Structure 1
Amino acid sequence: MRTIGHFIGGKEVKGTSGRFGDVFEPMTGEVQAQVALATKAEVRSAVENAKAAQEAWANTNPQRRARVMMKFLELVQRDYDKLADILAREHGKTVPDAKGDIQRGLEVVEFACGIPHLMKGEYTEGAGPGIDIYSMRQALGVVAGITPFNFPAMIPMWKFAPAIACGNAFILKPSERDPGVPMALAALMMEAGLPAGILNVVNGDKEAVDAILDDPDIKAVGFVGSSPIAQYIYERAAQTNKRAQCFGGAKNHAIIMPDADMDQTVDALIGAGYGSAGERCMAISVAVPVGKTTADRLMEKLIPRVESLKIGPSTDPSADFGPLVTKAALDRVKDYVEIGIKEGAKLAVDGRGFKMQGYEKGFYLGGSLFDNVTKDMRIYKEEIFGPVLSVVRAHDYHEALALPSDHDY
């Protein structure tokens, strides 16, 4: 069984905790690796290593730091297909989706290449009688990112590229469900010329997260994940005087007006609602047609499109989406479909019976579509995070507009 450790001091190191998490291959349902789960002491070791390297990196001029980013872009392009394959096999999204995941991260790395200009301060002469004002932008020191399973390339790069370009050292705690790509990205940063210790990857669960939040040498933390965990991290980071940027969940609405091009609308809903098996915080999970005629036209075109969605292995280039990330995620979404039925919503398309021939143990689920969903239902109020679209019928524009405005999300 392949084991995945941590990336500290410029190289992969074995975990010492004796605790491991399973890394599945969602399309087969089999365990493909075990990832080490760090202790508080291991996190502390990574922070000390980063702290020792950070000062020299911050004193490196921004042009040279930008060149590391430029070389990193070149190396990721070289290994694009390999990275996409690792990502698809660990997460479950299709290879084209995986390539998009990587590309969206690279776009932020490209932005970070402009750091010599972005780091410039400002100067104001004569702001007051005998007063001139100037500002300087300086690195904080050691900072951290805690990133989710659903974009294991994009979100780590969103976090570490600007932070490192600014002269910080970075501790990355990726999701333990799909750690392969974050580990590979750290190795590529080293190959690009990043000094050892400036990007350390610590794999782990809540123990590692709490160690990051409580460590006095970590000055800032960025997080993307569920709303309850975002609130927990923000509160705990505030207790230790850390800067915190926490992005939580979402329940995104699409309001469909009577004059909408229905073919174009359905195309958009299929991509936004079911792409990557709905495991996106920006997925459209609620469609709000305005008026009965609009709703009936929408359902007439939407039902056959959902029924014809092609679900396949992550390596199938023709698949619309692949499996969910874990069996627990699959069961959770199935439970929500059952909840919706019990609450009185009309299940227009039921994807629960889908079976992938030759991949019977994989975490597959067909697309599901609810009609006549109301705002008091759990399937409307809570984030499902799966291939389930809810249609909430509004009588007029004002009722439709009030729905997302009044929602907890």
Structure 2
Amino acid sequence: MKYERVRNFINGSFKDVSSARTLPVISPVDGTLLAELPCSSAADLEHAVEAAQTAFPAWSRTPIKERVQVFFRYKYLLEKHLKGLAALVSEENGKTFSEAVAEVEKCIELTEFATSLPQLVAGEVLEVSTGVECRTSYVPLGVVASIVPFNFPAMVPNWTIPNAIALGNCMIIKPSEKVPLSLSVIARLLKEAGLPDGVLNIVNGDSEIVDAICDHPDITAISFVGSTRVAKIVYQRSTQQLKRCLALGGAKNHLLVLPDAKPDMTAQNVAASMSGCAGQRCMAASAMIGVGEVDHIVDLVCQEARKIIPGQNLGAVINQESKERIERYITEAEAQGARILVDGRGATVAGKESGTYVGPTVIDYVTADMAVAREEIFGPVISIMRTSTVDEALRIENENPYGNAAAVFTQNGGMARYIAERASAGMIGVNVGVPVPREPFSFGGWNESKFGVGDITGKSSIAFWTKLKKSTTKWNPEEGVNWMS
């Protein structure tokens, strides 16, 4: 075992859990046993909630301009330790080192946004009548929770930690049991940055602790990122307990490629979008819809895909179960009549034979009823469908239950706008294969890619992590009373 046993982070220090039940943490890069993860019990969660409740009064009363000073220092520490944290992200998740560096750089951008929150939550004041003033202020909720996935061990926690905590809340965060190590480093950096004890607490475990978080009466709000199946469960279970919940689920992102698209740029974007982070991201291109004659672009997509080599510029998928599931999708599509143009099944990396790799895969002549066209694969696989009209392509996109992202590749501005306005997705790209909004614009999809109101990052997150207080004040009785006062 390469690292010491994972521990919870409670009230500013790492602590063992009460349960003897454990899970292995295995690197998908080469199959190395990295650590042993204990599964927290409801009693362990109770300790975390108590610590957060104790810390909340002082933290919430601290002026926000003072709270964000922690995140100025945290940003500096992320920059200082960028390469070390990126190496750990790569090791436990399987993505390439350059992808892990980009992930930590995104953490830095997210933290930078949090430092701007004092300017965004200043509230409003207006004299609504002579001597009568109305004022709004943003008030933290209390103890909140965040449940995060395996595919971005550092970035997704930083979708929620900086904003929720800078806004005055205290947080319980539960990392994926597959990738718990990066979050422990983040906790250490935040403590070094001066975050008071109890403001951030980590509880490790599996679905049992997720259920306990959903049910706990003193947790007021929950954010979740993961599969749609689990997002629905978390949303339903937590809202039944009268909590706020924002649960982000899966995706099936469509790229509509028109014949006038710039061939080289389009092919590079399609290949990069479908294979980045081994396709294990909810913004990955999973389906390409060619409108009209696009064979020349499909050929270039295949050329670009063949440049993507497992173990070099393509990372591993998270575990053997995922590898087998992805390859079953490919085999099933082939059996149903689709044509495999680039085949990533059976990929291995010399010297890392125990790693879990799937090569880039391009599947052509997919029909909309096939599983590879409808379901989230979460691997480096692109399914190509063919249509003769834009409206037919939009129908396919609209009928898919998900709604995270959609993109169009064309040089026709009018057509780009036509498609952007009609695609049923929360994030749209025009000649952009991964249309992730940059701060301060918020991240969030539609349909079965998101359950709850608002988005998880950017300005939209403020409304989720706070409640709005309205105050009306009058100090001049000599003015008399009218209907406005």
Asked if these proteins are the same fold (TM beyond 0.5), I'd say yes
Match for residue 12 of structure 1 among 8, 11, 14: 14
Secondary structure in 1 matching 2:5: strand
Q: Contact 1:289–1:298 at 8 Å: present in 2 too?
A: no
Q: Does 1:334 align with 2:319?
A: no
CA distances 1:288-340 after superposition (whole Å, capped 9, x unpaired)? 1111x21x21222222322232211xxxxxx2211111111111111111221
Matched to 1:179, the amino acid is P
Q: Contact 2:271–2:305 at 8 Å: present in 1 too?
A: yes
Q: Contact 2:149–2:225 at 8 Å: present in 1 too?
A: yes
Residue in 2 that maps onto 1:283: 284
Q: Does 1:359 align with 2:352?
A: yes
CA shift, 1:277, in A, is 0.6
Residue in 1 that maps onto 2:401: 408
CA distances 1:250-298 after superposition (whole Å, capped 9, x unpaired)? 111111111111111000011101111100100011111111x21x212
Q: Does 1:177 align with 2:189?
A: no
**C-alpha distance in structure 1 between counterparts of 2:132 and 2:367, whole Å:** 60
Match for residue 382 of structure 2 among 389, 396, 399: 389
Secondary structure in 2 matching 1:218: coil
Matched to 1:136, the amino acid is S
**C-alpha distance in structure 2 between counterparts of 1:222 and 1:273, whole Å:** 26
Matched to 2:110, the amino acid is V
Secondary structure in 1 matching 2:25: strand
**C-alpha distance in structure 1 between counterparts of 2:392 and 2:253, whole Å:** 16
Residue in 2 that maps onto 1:380: 373
**C-alpha distance in structure 1 between counterparts of 2:226 and 2:132, whole Å:** 45
Residue in 2 that maps onto 1:230: 231
**C-alpha distance in structure 2 between counterparts of 1:137 and 1:96, whole Å:** 38
Residue in 2 that maps onto 1:303: 302
Matched to 1:311, the amino acid is P
CA shift, 1:64, in A, is 1.3
Worse-matched range after superposition: 344-353 or 178-187: 344-353
**C-alpha distance in structure 2 between counterparts of 1:49 and 1:340, whole Å:** 51
CA distances 1:214-257 after superposition (whole Å, capped 9, x unpaired)? 11111101111111111111111111111111111111111111
**C-alpha distance in structure 2 between counterparts of 1:353 and 1:332, whole Å:** 12
Alpha-carbon RMSD across the aligned residues, in angstroms, is: 1.4
Q: Contact 1:106–1:154 at 8 Å: present in 2 too?
A: no
Secondary structure in 1 matching 2:139: coil
Residue in 2 that maps onto 1:206: 207
Q: Contact 2:9–2:15 at 8 Å: present in 1 too?
A: yes
CA shift, 1:355, in A, is 1.8
Residue in 1 that maps onto 2:190: 189
CA shift, 1:132, in A, is 4.8
Residue in 2 that maps onto 1:321: 314
Q: Contact 2:288–2:383 at 8 Å: present in 1 too?
A: yes
Q: Contact 2:253–2:287 at 8 Å: present in 1 too?
A: yes
Secondary structure in 2 matching 1:136: strand
CA shift, 1:387, in A, is 0.8
**C-alpha distance in structure 1 between counterparts of 2:114 and 2:299, whole Å:** 46
Secondary structure in 1 matching 2:276: helix
Matched to 2:324, the amino acid is D
Secondary structure in 1 matching 2:387: coil
**C-alpha distance in structure 2 between counterparts of 1:242 and 1:37, whole Å:** 24
* 1:73-92 alignment, distance < 5 Å: 73-92=75-94
**C-alpha distance in structure 1 between counterparts of 2:390 and 2:376, whole Å:** 24
Matched to 2:77, the amino acid is L
Worse-matched range after superposition: 352-361 or 373-382: 352-361
Residue in 1 that maps onto 2:35: 33
**C-alpha distance in structure 1 between counterparts of 2:133 and 2:331, whole Å:** 65
Q: Contact 1:44–1:211 at 8 Å: present in 2 too?
A: no
Secondary structure in 2 matching 1:234: helix
Residue in 2 that maps onto 1:257: 258
CA shift, 1:150, in A, is 0.4
Secondary structure in 2 matching 1:286: strand
User: Structure 1 residues 57, 286: closer, same or farther in 2, change over 3 A?
Assistant: same
Provide the TM-score with structure 1 as the length reference. 0.95
CA shift, 1:119, in A, is 2.5
Q: Contact 1:348–1:369 at 8 Å: present in 2 too?
A: yes
CA shift, 1:353, in A, is 2.5
Matched to 2:18, the amino acid is T
Matched to 1:276, the amino acid is C
Match for residue 338 of structure 2 among 338, 345, 348: 345
CA shift, 1:130, in A, is 9.1
CA distances 1:110-162 after superposition (whole Å, capped 9, x unpaired)? 111122222322223328x9975322211111001000100111110111110
Residue in 2 that maps onto 1:316: none
Please list every run of 5 or more consecutive structure 1 residues that lacks an aligned counterpart in the other structure: 313-318
Q: Does 1:269 align with 2:262?
A: no
Match for residue 60 of structure 2 among 50, 53, 58: 58
Q: Contact 2:310–2:348 at 8 Å: present in 1 too?
A: no
CA distances 1:328-386 after superposition (whole Å, capped 9, x unpaired)? 11111111112212222111121113221111111011111110111111111100000
CA shift, 1:49, in A, is 0.9
Secondary structure in 2 matching 1:138: strand
Secondary structure in 1 matching 2:313: coil
Q: Contact 2:18–2:43 at 8 Å: present in 1 too?
A: no
Provide the TM-score with structure 2 as the length reference. 0.80
Matched to 1:230, the amino acid is A
Q: Contact 1:222–1:245 at 8 Å: present in 2 too?
A: yes
Residue in 2 that maps onto 1:48: 50
**Percent identity over paired residues:** 39
**C-alpha distance in structure 2 between counterparts of 1:162 and 1:346, whole Å:** 46
CA shift, 1:109, in A, is 1.1
Please list every run of 5 or more consecutive structure 2 residues that lacks an aligned counterpart in the other structure: 403-485
Matched to 2:145, the amino acid is A
Residue in 1 that maps onto 2:471: none
